[in-house]
Structure 1
Amino acid sequence: MNLFKVISERLLVLNYDICSLEWKFLNKLGVKSRFPPILTGLIRALYFSLKSLRDIYIHVPKDKVLFFVGSHNQVKALSKVHQKSENGVMLSIHNFRNMKCDSHIPLFWFYFMGWLVFPITVISIYAIPNEYQKWALKIRFERALISSCSVWVWKFLFMIWRPRTVIISNDHNHWTCAIVQATKELNIPSVYIPHAFTSETFPPLECTYSCLESDIQKNRYVNRNSDIRVVGAVRYEDNIKPISRQPLKGILVCFNELDSNDWVRDIIENLVRESNFQIFIKPHPADVSRHTFFEGISKEFHVDYVEPCSDISTLQDRVQILLGGITGAHIDALIYSMLPMTFENWYPEDYYGLLSDGALLKVKNASSISFEYSQNIEQIHKKRVQYNYHCKKPDLMPSDQIIKIINDIK
């Protein structure tokens, strides 16, 4: 097998989130450019390379349990376990920064090594036969630049840091996919703790241990020799409350990067016109460039704006319905005793399998929300226990079970 084919395959495996032909994520985001894709990608690569100059040397203590996070939701999934770990160090990846993190990875060396193998990476991209995958890696060339050599860089860093165990909460991003591959090649134990729910199109489980939320989630995955433990969801463990039926008073609308500005405006305008309930809108934490847009929409239509990084459990007494499109927030709603709901024209595919499981209500329009809520709330609430093992055994904390797994690793 020639070098270019090896690199091509590695690029596709590590960049699963943007290269999956089932997801075609960049198409869903509507990513476009006025320039040729490779030129756009090169500009991005140069920009991130310059930013990486601030992260040349990072001190990481040896013989520690390393937690890697790249988003606020991942911090939420791992911080409780990190706090209970006696030897835990939480490291942020890419451009993510968070006060709960102990340090940041030395980004510079990933870009430095990437530019050294730049010609090989470019040729390997053009050797990929599928046009969508080729386009995705060109327009996001900074990812290809890093992932062509990131496993080697991680192996070098791990040989210096000598971690006891490595913990991740994202299994389809190029940073964490490369981390897992490096740990496998060095025989370092790894643990996967999901930061969100799972669809059947997610990549196979590769970590040494996978601490999943439910049997439903377990059945969504293909397993490649990972020791699966169903423990429940760490991110919910402090907010599990008994289900209580409440009269409909408020609706929380969750948006993400898949929702265009025009779509957001239409949804809110129709809700305000057709319903008499208090409306809350919450953008996704990762949709940073549009947070001010959502604030403007909330002021324009006189609805309540919810901070992107806030926990929706704080709205349990004021919100009874969570309305959204293709989003894992529907699971959040189910756990927090809200009714997960979507519109027929907002949910073109059953991405998480919630409709087929009877855990998500699809309605025609805003005027039918009140009636459908009264008719379906009790039936859908019964599904909650199926999506979080912790709901079956509320006294058995998921983070405690995971800490035991980590401590028992030899």
Structure 2
Amino acid sequence: MPSPTLRLRDILQLRFSPLFAGLPARTLEGISPHSPWKRLAKVAGYAAVRLVGNVFRPIRNAEDLHGKVWLYVVSQNNYEALHFLRESLSDTVLVAGQSKQIGRYNQQVNRLSLRRKLLYYGQFPVALLGLWKTEGRLAWRFFDLVFNAIGYYEVYRRALRHYRPRAVIFANDHNDDARALLLACRAEGVPTAYVQHASVSTSFPPLGFDLSLLEGQDALDKYRQCGPVWGRVDLVGMPKADAFLAQKNQQPTVQCVGIAINLLDETPAVFEAVTYLLREFPALRFTFRPHPGDQRDFTSLRQQHPTLRVSDARQESVFEFLQQQDALVAADTSTHLEAILLNVASIYYRFGTHAGTDDYYGYVAHGLVPRAHSLPELGALLRTYQQHKPLDLYQRAAYYNATLGTPDEGHSQQRAVRLLREWLGDYPSALRSEG
């Protein structure tokens, strides 16, 4: 059985990658502060609010979790990616960790108790020392993240033994708690499946599920670069896009433009780009959409530009947002792919100078979207689309969405359900088999 140090190394794979360590200081500051004293304060806060707080917070789930198929979610996006299975597969329940924030769906998921997580923190000094030997200075730089990850594996193993789920289906393969549950499932012999919910990166951990339903060849090619591919893989397209693929944008010119930003984008560069676009294109309607996890205050931006509309990513899904746009401007986000699938013209433009994640998903390299290196280039591309927007842009996405242009286009959910149902047929419920 792997030592706690080796398990934590596996759980925290992405945190110890050069890509993560090289994120902009502002972005890292919100995840793991640069100052060791601030990291220590974060650890103390986590211990008081989460670890001790969970002990006094009872779990009262609306559904019975015993013998069910768990749909494990770690975010609002995960919920939206897996919810269709809740409607189509019998004996499924949506599950999250005790205090995990699932956005607007917080009250709609069942919770796994993390009360006993507190019991395993005696591992921390030895685990940190072991990680120091394998990861060097990164272990100390991210000791707060190591602290947070302690105990997930053990608590989840206990939950699996208690509830004996028939299988666990994931939409995330790299977050700490999702990785811990995956390892716990392997140890307890619980079957696992994965439904891709967004574009993937070659920095992700190796694909390690019994069944993986990927969107297209792009994802499979990238996972093969991450390491050996475990289990069976099927390409099913993008289930969450099904309801929207029949409503592709047919506007021959651009009139409405979305500006989507993420946590890596630098605030001054965002302000500069928005100001430039609104000044240069007074006839266009612009909608600004920060990432749902972005805590920055953009009130002054809206005050400077009263005509700028705002999309609240916590309340409006990405496809609902894109349905109102003819073009998109964004940097490293899978929203580019979602836009192209709806025939929305999309332009890659970096809001800032950080190069560590340049063309993170390879959209520019594979010809999915054009790139603007400067604001004048961005303006030139947008003017071209303002005069004429092709109606066949979506065909570029075939490498990313396996069902595009096939009889299964718009039916990825049915395809995924069929494959999962067949796969689950090989794993009868432990509770039923005992009966």
The question of whether the paired residues in 2 share the 8 Å contact of 1:22 and 1:201 is answered with yes
Partner SS, residue 298 of structure 2: helix
- What residue is the counterpart of 1:102 in the other structure? 109
The question of whether the paired residues in 2 share the 8 Å contact of 1:71 and 1:286 is answered with no
CA displacement at 1:213 relative to structure 2? 0.5
- Matched pairs, number: 399
- What residue is the counterpart of 1:388 in the other structure? 401
Deviations 1:305-356 (A, max 9, x none): 1011312333455411111111111111111211221226658412111111
Partner SS, residue 327 of structure 1: coil
How far apart in 1 are the matches of 2:322 and 2:124?
51
The question of whether the paired residues in 2 share the 8 Å contact of 1:246 and 1:320 is answered with no
- What residue is the counterpart of 2:264 in the other structure? 258
Partner SS, residue 238 of structure 1: helix
Partner SS, residue 23 of structure 1: helix
How far apart in 2 are the matches of 1:325 and 1:71?
21
- What residue is the counterpart of 2:420 in the other structure? 406
How far apart in 1 are the matches of 2:384 and 2:10?
42
How far apart in 2 are the matches of 1:362 and 1:151?
42
Counting only pairs closer than 5 Å after superposition, residues 172-183 of structure 1 correspond to structure 2 as 172-183=174-185
- What residue is the counterpart of 1:156 in the other structure? 158
Partner SS, residue 157 of structure 1: helix
The question of whether the paired residues in 1 share the 8 Å contact of 2:330 and 2:350 is answered with no
Of 79, 82, 87, the match for 1:75? 79
* Bigger Cα displacement from structure 2, 17-26 vs 183-192: 17-26
- What residue is the counterpart of 1:218 in the other structure? 220
- What residue is the counterpart of 1:10 in the other structure? 7
- What residue is the counterpart of 2:333 in the other structure? 327
Of 167, 179, 188, the match for 1:186? 188
Deviations 1:218-277 (A, max 9, x none): 111124322101111111111112452431101101111112322322221121122221
The question of whether the paired residues in 2 share the 8 Å contact of 1:92 and 1:101 is answered with no
- C-alpha spacing 1:186/1:168, structure 2 compared with 1 (3 Å): same
- What residue is the counterpart of 1:371 in the other structure? 383
Letter of the 1:324 counterpart: A
The question of whether the paired residues in 1 share the 8 Å contact of 2:5 and 2:128 is answered with no
What are structure 2's unaligned runs of at least 5 residues? 427-435
- What residue is the counterpart of 1:166 in the other structure? 168
Partner SS, residue 206 of structure 2: coil
The question of whether the paired residues in 2 share the 8 Å contact of 1:231 and 1:398 is answered with yes
* Bigger Cα displacement from structure 2, 234-243 vs 34-43: 34-43
- C-alpha spacing 1:278/1:395, structure 2 compared with 1 (3 Å): closer
How far apart in 1 are the matches of 2:184 and 2:55?
24
* Bigger Cα displacement from structure 2, 317-326 vs 191-200: 317-326
How far apart in 1 are the matches of 2:21 and 2:323?
38
What are structure 1's unaligned runs of at least 5 residues? none
* Bigger Cα displacement from structure 2, 221-230 vs 311-320: 311-320
- C-alpha spacing 1:74/1:189, structure 2 compared with 1 (3 Å): same
How far apart in 2 are the matches of 1:100 and 1:85?
21
Partner SS, residue 390 of structure 1: coil
CA displacement at 1:56 relative to structure 2? 4.6
The question of whether the paired residues in 1 share the 8 Å contact of 2:215 and 2:238 is answered with yes
- What residue is the counterpart of 2:16 in the other structure? 19
- What residue is the counterpart of 2:304 in the other structure? 300
- C-alpha spacing 1:396/1:257, structure 2 compared with 1 (3 Å): closer
Letter of the 2:41 counterpart: T
Counting only pairs closer than 5 Å after superposition, residues 44-59 of structure 1 correspond to structure 2 as 44-46=45-47, 47-58=49-60
Partner SS, residue 36 of structure 1: helix
* TM-score, normalisation: structure 2: 0.83
Deviations 1:131-163 (A, max 9, x none): 234312x2xx2x423533322221111011110
The alignment's C-alpha RMSD in Å is 2.6
* Bigger Cα displacement from structure 2, 170-179 vs 294-303: 294-303
Deviations 1:54-103 (A, max 9, x none): 54545542110001111111111100112212101101234214257331
- What residue is the counterpart of 1:36 in the other structure? 37
Partner SS, residue 389 of structure 1: coil
- C-alpha spacing 1:278/1:376, structure 2 compared with 1 (3 Å): closer
Deviations 1:256-308 (A, max 9, x none): 11123223222211211222211100111122x22xx2355234312001011
- C-alpha spacing 1:370/1:149, structure 2 compared with 1 (3 Å): closer
- What residue is the counterpart of 1:229 in the other structure? 234
* TM-score, normalisation: structure 1: 0.88
CA displacement at 1:217 relative to structure 2? 1.5
The question of whether the paired residues in 2 share the 8 Å contact of 1:64 and 1:163 is answered with yes
Deviations 1:106-127 (A, max 9, x none): 12222x1332433333433444
